[in-house]
Structure 1
Amino acid sequence: MEMVIYSVSIIMLSIWFHWRWKNKRFCNLASKLPGPISYPFIGTASMYTPTYEGTVQKIEQNAVNYDYEPVGTWIGPFFYVSVVKPEDIQIVLNNSKALEKGFLYSLLKSLLGEGLLTAPVDKWRKHRRIISYAFNVKFLEKLYPVFNEKNRILVNDLKSKLTSSEPFDLWNNIISTTFDTICDVAMDYQVTEPQKKFEFLNLLTVVSEELVKDVNKPWLYWDKNFSIYKNMCDLGNNLKAIKELPLQLIKEKKQNYQIKKSTLKPNGNNIEESNLGNKFRTFMDCLLLANESDPDFSDDDVLDEVITMLYAGSDTSGTTECFCLLMLAIHQDIQDEVYDEIYNAVGDSDREFTPDDMAKLVYLDQVLKETLRMFPILPVFTRQLQDDVKLSNYVLPKGTGVTISPMVTHQAPYLYPNPNIFNPDNFSPVNVANRHKYSFIAFSGGPRGCLGMKYAMMAMKLLISEVLRNFSIHTDIKLPDIKVKMSDGFIRKIGGYPITIRIRDKKPSYLRKTISSNCK
């Protein structure tokens, strides 16, 4: 028995020393960086938590404990450095050797394939070039009629809530609107059966929630392990079922694309330089054009980008809109100021919003950014270094996983005084000018930052404006009562977004206050 114990001990020590030698550059850096204690084989035990939000809280705790310096941790055999200061974040996000997304995104590939969010660098560069046309400013301005139409439908749906004084959860109304909008503006497609739409949205939630739980299981980062795991539970079947709606969408759009081509009047030397019929080229048109003209852009590539767009284009905007409306319901003075700005732009008319109107809504822009500061959609993201990267005080070796948390950086008191207070003035021109650019990273940053940032801000401003010019929003919830969870990869409020609405008094707040004062 003693010989067995002795032999096992020798083997374990040999493995340990070999591993230490192989990873000596990481081990040397770990010995210099501040951070919690790490143990052989298991790594930093304090980072293992049963929930994703628990892991983010640990990252935040480490940032505070170590004065916002880079912190080194081991998750099993994987070495991560958590970077919080804007100066270091800028170095990482702008470095051409830090564009790979990292191991954490490998699980998301089972849902999104290798779309823009999860693709390796070479594929990402190519896909971004193909897709970028659909996100340029001139194209986005052509989308206003679609946004206005979808938002009017939302307002009509919300009117049914006026008859009850009981709070209702905004989520279903908002996510239905954002999903319908992204389908129309990006793919010129309408899901006519509500049941199919909500089945898809529910599957998205179920699958992504399962994948978020698996983030804390590093043994699943290997493809073979994950393949076995997903086939042993419902995840495998759900991943197949979730593709049904996107595949149907793509099939119909391919048929329509061929019809468009047959009526094409070329105004250039090739199809790409021409408009498809009389309609501008949508996101889906860009994909189908690439699929037809580039043998390396496969049907799977089209599917991956469509699912990624449906996932990111509806959920992210919808979540921020719900948080923003809830913040305005809690802070009536801020809601009044936003409405006054809308009134100054369009008066009490019901005409459609225009790009010129949106340009005037500067304070609403601040409100949305403050919402994203307090409730960033992605609480944490990672990069995998393809070469050494020098930060302010340390050199991170090739292969290091870098963790960046908007949730943590946005809560740093030296960047945002009183960070737990909702204060849109954090984004006044003066305050923005006095802060480092990378102290706000709700849309990530650098070359691999969010391609849809302008789309998202425009979409959110239009929806919030349409709701506020028709209704005033109210809630009994207080800001300290709000608790969040990391559900399906995004931040969510526990308990939903309960509000009540009333028909909007179209007068600006200063007139309402004057009339109220004269009546006393």
Structure 2
Amino acid sequence: MEFYLNVLLKTIYLLITVNLIFKFSKWLINYSEKLITVNRIKGLPMIPFIGNVHQLKTKYELVKQLSQLAYQLKDEPLWRLWLGTMPIFVFHRGDYAEVLFSSSKNTQKSVQYNFLHPWLGTGLLTSHGEKWAKRRRLITPTFHFEILNDFLNVMNEQANILVEILAKLTTQNQEINIFERLKACALDVICESAMGQHVNAQNDETSEYVQAVARISELVTFRFFDPLQWPDFIYRRTAKGKDFERCLKILHDFSKKVIVERNSHLDDVDLMSKKRIAFLDLLLKAKRMDQSITFDDIREEVDTFVFEGHDTTAAAASWACQLIGSHPEVQKKLHEEIDSVLGQSKRHLTNDDLKELTYLDLVIKETLRLFPSVPYFGRTLSEDCEVGGYKVLKGETAVILAYMIHRDVKYYPDPEKFDPERFLPENTKNRNPYAYIPFSAGRRNCIGQRFALMEEKVLLANILKRFEIKSLKSIDELEPVGDLIIHPNKGIPITLNLRC
């Protein structure tokens, strides 16, 4: 009996070993074939199984490193990196990125977006396929221009609070970190617009919710750049992982509480007759017409609005302040335009006012060219593609490097120069539409881009109406960092002088 048992065990061990050897051999063959295919594309020299992990800089230097590589390979249609055994196809030219944007299939976000799932679930930002299409259809009506007009009041009110805070700091001759001030303002705008909630971020930095929003964004970024923290079973046991869970509970509890309260007060009258509505009201109204929409679905979208709607806008407006403050001739034109439209009036900006601020439009567009709020974004390829004579493989990750697409000398001569007139109609008529993608492009373009541009315009117009901006550091000294958004390493210090 013992003999037969030993034979059986040895047979099982042998079968397991043979199966493992077979699977490893099959994986090794696939990996070898992948190496041959992918390495036809130019990129950094790599080491099998390690790739380029040992060569990549920290997040504080990554933008500069990727930019240098893109300039070195500027004539290539794309280039590649390896993270271990995973190839990354990097698109740095709009002409060739078109294959990703124009396809109805390559809409799935890359695996790195999974780190946002605990907070945002699989809402509009992180979902794909039919679920994404359904969410897009659900949310699109909430960005109707008539509804956006209502949010203009929120933007004006919060801009006024910001300007009063800045005026007080100015009289005290204080150096101002405009990035932090604009982050707080943008968070107030999006929380009131999305949830109808006053979180008072501009005046109360101790708010538990405000602190949790800032901290969880940092934690996602840290994890994104540290492969050792990618596995959930490891991350949950780290100090950062436990802090993440703490912040997550604060954010989800707040959102759920607001949703329940808002739903209990929502009646069946026409929402447009209300004095002020929020995105949340529109989603709750949609739920009453479609019972398949759950409160968790709504919570995912509200949290997504908050995540996507404050840091990105704050970063764009902050970089605009930096560029305006270091280009006196541009600032002079802006002051003249704003004075001609608003005069000495202290009224809120209207939509008609915003339409007349055409030079400010050019400044914002050029700022977003140089500093697209999201400097790069990833897609998981759903099919094999041919790009510039190279094969790009299904199931792998493509990174669209918007930061460098916006510096393609074919469309932007002297690309590092700040020149708002690049966006005059006569200078854009022959430009490839995918050479400028601050809000992505194609089916997965940013649904909130009109909201974001309106907010940036209101904030900048209010600041420029009252102040003259002076930048204290150069762009190089600010050390742009590219993680979830492109932001200065240690803020953007400026001084302001009252104009009136």
**TM-score, normalization by structure 2:** 0.88
Kept in 2, the 8 Å contact 1:56–1:380? The answer is no
Structure 2 partner of 1:77: 85
CA change 1:298–1:473 in 2 (3 A) is: same
Query: Is 1:128 aligned with 2:133?
Result: no
Within 5 Å, give how 1:147-158 maps onto structure 2: 147-158=155-166
Q: Could you tell me how far apart the structure 1 residues matched to 2:232 and 2:263 are?
A: 32
Report deviation, 1:211. 1.9
Q: Secondary structure at the match of 1:447?
A: helix
Structure 1 partner of 2:50: 42
Q: Could you tell me how far apart the structure 2 residues matched to 1:166 and 1:46 are?
A: 43
Report deviation, 1:439. 1.3
Query: Is 1:60 aligned with 2:60?
Result: no
Query: Is 1:33 aligned with 2:41?
Result: yes
Structure 1 partner of 2:307: 311
Q: Could you tell me how far apart the structure 2 residues matched to 1:125 and 1:232 are?
A: 32
Kept in 1, the 8 Å contact 2:182–2:318? The answer is yes
Query: Is 1:207 aligned with 2:207?
Result: no
Q: Could you tell me how far apart the structure 2 residues matched to 1:221 and 1:95 are?
A: 30
Unaligned runs of 5+ in 2: 1-17
Structure 2 partner of 1:269: none
CA change 1:42–1:14 in 2 (3 A) is: farther
CA change 1:84–1:74 in 2 (3 A) is: same
Query: Is 1:256 aligned with 2:251?
Result: no
Q: Could you tell me how far apart the structure 2 residues matched to 1:504 and 1:195 are?
A: 28
Kept in 1, the 8 Å contact 2:194–2:306? The answer is no
Report deviation, 1:468. 1.0
Structure 1 partner of 2:14: none
Report deviation, 1:215. 2.0
Q: Secondary structure at the match of 1:243?
A: helix
Query: Is 1:86 aligned with 2:94?
Result: yes
CA change 1:411–1:201 in 2 (3 A) is: farther
Structure 1 partner of 2:279: 283
CA change 1:360–1:180 in 2 (3 A) is: same
Structure 1 partner of 2:464: 468
Structure 2 partner of 1:160: 168
Kept in 2, the 8 Å contact 1:36–1:46? The answer is no
Structure 2 partner of 1:294: 290
Report deviation, 1:180. 1.7
Q: Secondary structure at the match of 1:149?
A: helix
Which letter maps to 1:364?
A: L
Kept in 1, the 8 Å contact 2:199–2:210? The answer is no
Residue in structure 2 matching 1:490, options 477, 482, 485: 485
Structure 2 partner of 1:510: none
Report deviation, 1:365. 0.9
CA change 1:390–1:202 in 2 (3 A) is: same
Kept in 2, the 8 Å contact 1:169–1:497? The answer is yes
Structure 2 partner of 1:513: none
Q: Could you tell me how far apart the structure 2 residues matched to 1:336 and 1:399 are?
A: 51
Structure 1 partner of 2:348: 352
Which letter maps to 1:52?
A: K
Q: Secondary structure at the match of 2:417?
A: coil
Compare 156-165 and 310-319 and name the one that shifted more.
156-165
Which letter maps to 2:420?
A: P
Report deviation, 1:101. 0.3
Residue in structure 2 matching 1:185, options 173, 190, 193: 193
Structure 2 partner of 1:105: 113
Report deviation, 1:78. 2.0
Compare 276-285 and 235-244 and name the one that shifted more.
276-285
Which letter maps to 1:205?
A: A
Using the aligned pairs only, state the percent identity: 28
Kept in 2, the 8 Å contact 1:73–1:81? The answer is yes
Report deviation, 1:402. 0.5
Which letter maps to 1:475?
A: S
Report deviation, 1:160. 0.8
Structure 1 partner of 2:433: 437
Structure 2 partner of 1:270: none
Report deviation, 1:91. 1.6
Kept in 2, the 8 Å contact 1:167–1:475? The answer is no
Query: Is 1:384 aligned with 2:392?
Result: no
Q: Could you tell me how far apart the structure 2 residues matched to 1:181 and 1:326 are?
A: 22
Structure 1 partner of 2:398: 402
CA change 1:239–1:186 in 2 (3 A) is: closer
